[in-house]
Amino acid sequence: MAATVAQRVRARLRPASRRLLRELRRRRGARPGDHHRRAGRLATAPVHPRASPRLRPARDEPMSELDDAEFHRWQRHAHRALDTARLAANGERYEWACFLAEQAAQLSVKGLLHGIGEEAWGHDLTVLEHRAASLLSPHWPDAPDAADAAARLTRHYIPTRYPDAHPGAHVDAHYRRSDADAAIADAERLIDNAARAWAALGGTVGGEEV
């Protein structure tokens, strides 16, 4: 059976992807427990046995392969957030459409980082996007445009939700359909970037996350 286009693309990218993954593993192996130090906690801080695996201390041994299931788990939720952003826009809840678009992009980029075994702390999309771009620079498409999209979306994280973010007016008075459409387009760009980077690394792709 003839190879599909995706298979041929992955075959061409595989040597570079392997080098990149080796470098990621080397970095992770050199910094066990780093995420606790960055969070202001001791590297040996105890973790509740029922805590999410993604909140536990980093392994002393680096991951040996991509975590495909974890990547797709986050992407599924990102797509659901994006679908809800579209529903909010169609219902003229433009401020919530902007916020949900930011959430969709944040979930997608975090899922990519988790999929390669990297930490994804915080809620600043500009920081998360920069981390993904730095780690995956050979496979992170249109980096300047992606960074701009992340910066625009980050502005919607706080003021879309709180009445006191806009003195003297309701939150919804400051948002229009054009704002929602632009935010959704920016989220789509970052979600597509995550999918393309994952495919380039050799992860499975195909089919819409629902």
- The arithmetic mean of pLDDT across residues 54-64, rounded, is 39
The pLDDT score that the predictor gives to residue 51 is: 37
* Of residues 118 and 3, more confidently modeled: 118
What is the DSSP track for 49-70? TTS-GGGSPPPSSPPSS--HHH
CA atoms within 13 A on the CB side of 71: 23
What's the pTM value of the predicted model, to 2 decimals? 0.71
| 68 pLDDT higher than 70 | yes
* Average of per-residue pLDDT values in the chain: 79
Q: What percent of the chain has pLDDT over 70?
A: 67
**Domain spanning 65-202: CATH 1.20.120.330:** yes
* Rounded CA separation 114/67 (Å): 8
* Of 11-25, 157-171, 188-202, highest mean pLDDT: 188-202
Q: What is the pLDDT of residues 108-142, one digit of tens each?
A: 999 999 999 998 989 999 999 999 999 998 899 88
* Rounded CA separation 169/163 (Å): 8
- The arithmetic mean of pLDDT across residues 61-90, rounded, is 89
The pLDDT score that the predictor gives to residue 151 is: 98
Instruction: Show the tokens assigned to 9.
Output: 């693309």
